[in-house]
């Protein structure tokens, strides 16, 4: 198929180009003799990528213990529904950072086979956590380095795509403190070493500064949240030395800023948190777009609405935030050779808008067509 007369941004360059987008067998190609479709006046960008979601979580359910009540089959149906809303919002890839029952792996495979409409998923399965630690209810508890490695092996046997470790406590788990590390330095290093040896990236959940230090030193692939929490409170223990380690080890940071952060706009503490991301960026740490979709009130199709909020909090230009959700995000999560840019050879994943998202990010809220692996879905409202 030849999509004609568009203006498109390839996900890498600095400006729009005029021309046609050619697709054959689900990939972008230089030229095609196939049928064409005129899209004069429209704009296209690569499909959006969310680096942190939980397909198994219902954002309308507050208590994590209530999440599994509907039972396996209904949960699977709900997850398929969420995947479809993501695709229709222009999200063509996402990284699932944890669940308890491996249902997201099943949905991942259904999407890959073309049985279900949804974004390309890469999944972490059960995150490694401490006994009673953050998200222990997902089943990845470990008391020692040996047990942490056993949890890792179990994920490997289930066919995950990467390993997630809860380096610090978190908010949604009662009795877990976001500022505290859940493991000693050696355990974090051993998990990263064992994961890398098996070809896996590691995503590290870190709110507290001590955990960010452990993750940076261990050389994880991405730090999730990166909230700089310490004794004095949320965001207040920013550490230049640790930031330097993140930059040196080329660790990506995934701040999980969702559209709900709009409500904090005037609050001094969130301005400070946003300032931390700006300082990280200035120090050479690369940021990627993520929402933590599935947590209370964060819906799975949130990313297009979240991106302007992320841009304003982290001081990113429109182009920078779009890269953080396309080519940069793909590189960070190991899909750089697969998707994230409109380039010959990559999967034909792109979104068409009537307005130019490079000029106004609000355009992202209204896609008119989403193409995923070369298959076009018209979005009518």
Q: Which residues contact Zn ion by CB under 5 A? A: 292
Closest distance between Zn ion and the C-beta of residue 93, in Å?
Answer: 17
Q: Are 291 and 306 in contact (CB under 8 A)?
A: yes
Closest distance between Zn ion and the C-beta of residue 52, in Å?
Answer: 6
d(CA 145, CA 196): 16
Closest distance between Zn ion and the C-beta of residue 295, in Å?
Answer: 6
59 or 357, CB closer to Zn ion?
A: 59
Q: Residue 242: enclosing H or E segment and its boundaries?
A: helix 240-248
d(CA 147, CA 243): 30
Distances (CA, A) of 174 to 63, 135, 169, 235: 10, 9, 10, 20
Closest distance between Zn ion and the C-beta of residue 89, in Å?
Answer: 19
d(CA 53, CA 293): 5
54 or 286, CB closer to Zn ion?
A: 54
3-class DSSP state for residue 205? Answer: strand
Nearest by Cα to 164 from 142, 132, 143, 186: 142
Q: Is the dihedral of CA 198, 118, 10, 277 positive or negative?
A: negative
Closest distance between Zn ion and the C-beta of residue 158, in Å?
Answer: 19
Nearest by Cα to 182 from 222, 136, 228: 136
**Helix axis angle, 103-113 relative to 72-88, nearest 10°?**
50
98 or 357, CB closer to Zn ion?
A: 98
Distances (CA, A) of 304 to 90, 201, 301, 326: 8, 26, 7, 12
95 or 373, CB closer to Zn ion?
A: 95
42 or 124, CB closer to Zn ion?
A: 124
292 or 328, CB closer to Zn ion?
A: 292
Length of the chain: 381
Q: Are 71 and 112 in contact (CB under 8 A)?
A: no
d(CA 331, CA 333): 6
Distances (CA, A) of 77 to 58, 93, 148, 319: 12, 19, 31, 36
Closest distance between Zn ion and the C-beta of residue 292, in Å?
Answer: 4
Closest distance between Zn ion and the C-beta of residue 185, in Å?
Answer: 23
State which residue has the least CB distance to Zn ion: 292
20 or 292, CB closer to Zn ion?
A: 292
Closest distance between Zn ion and the C-beta of residue 50, in Å?
Answer: 11
Closest distance between Zn ion and the C-beta of residue 227, in Å?
Answer: 12
Q: Which residues pair with 128 in a beta bridge?
A: 165
63 or 354, CB closer to Zn ion?
A: 63
119 or 367, CB closer to Zn ion?
A: 119
């Amino acid at each position: 198929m030849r999509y004609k007369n568009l203006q498109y941004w390839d996900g890498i360059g600095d400006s729009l180009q005029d021309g046609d987008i050619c697709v054959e067998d689900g990939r972008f190609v230089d030229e095609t003799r196939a049928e064409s479709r005129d899209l004069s006046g429209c704009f296209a960008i690569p499909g959006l990528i969310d680096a942190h979601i939980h397909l198994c979580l219902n954002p309308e359910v507050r208590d994590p213990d209530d999440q599994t009540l509907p039972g396996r089959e209904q949960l699977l149906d709900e997850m398929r529904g969420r995947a479809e809303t993501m695709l229709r919002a222009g999200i063509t890839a996402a990284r699932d950072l944890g669940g308890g029952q491996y249902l997201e792996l099943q949905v991942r495979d259904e999407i890959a086979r073309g049985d279900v409409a949804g974004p390309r998923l890469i999944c972490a399965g059960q995150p490694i956590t401490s006994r009673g630690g953050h998200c222990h209810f997902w089943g990845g508890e470990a008391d020692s380095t040996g047990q942490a490695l056993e949890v890792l092996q179990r994920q490997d046997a289930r066919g995950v795509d990467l390993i997630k470790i809860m380096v610090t406590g978190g908010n949604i788990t009662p009795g877990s403190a976001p500022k505290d590390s859940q493991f000693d330095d050696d355990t974090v290093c051993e998990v990263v070493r064992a994961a890398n040896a098996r070809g896996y990236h590691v995503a590290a959940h870190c709110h507290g500064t001590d955990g960010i230090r452990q993750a940076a030193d261990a050389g994880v692939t991405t730090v999730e949240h990166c909230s700089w929490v310490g004794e004095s409170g949320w965001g207040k223990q920013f550490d230049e030395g640790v930031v330097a380690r993140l930059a040196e080890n080329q660790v990506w940071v995934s701040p999980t800023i969702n559209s709900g952060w709009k409500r904090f706009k005037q609050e001094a503490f969130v301005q400070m948190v946003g300032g931390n991301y700006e300082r990280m960026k200035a120090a050479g740490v690369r940021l990627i777009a993520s929402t933590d979709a599935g947590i209370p009130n964060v819906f799975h199709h949130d990313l297009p609405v979240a991106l302007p909020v992320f841009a304003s909090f982290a001081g990113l230009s429109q182009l920078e935030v779009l890269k953080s959700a396309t080519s940069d995000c793909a590189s960070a999560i190991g899909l750089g050779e697969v998707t994230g840019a409109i380039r010959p050879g990559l999967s034909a994943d792109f979104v068409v808008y009537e307005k130019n998202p490079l000029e106004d990010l609000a355009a992202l809220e209204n896609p008119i067509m989403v193409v995923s692996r070369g298959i076009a879905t018209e979005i009518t409202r």
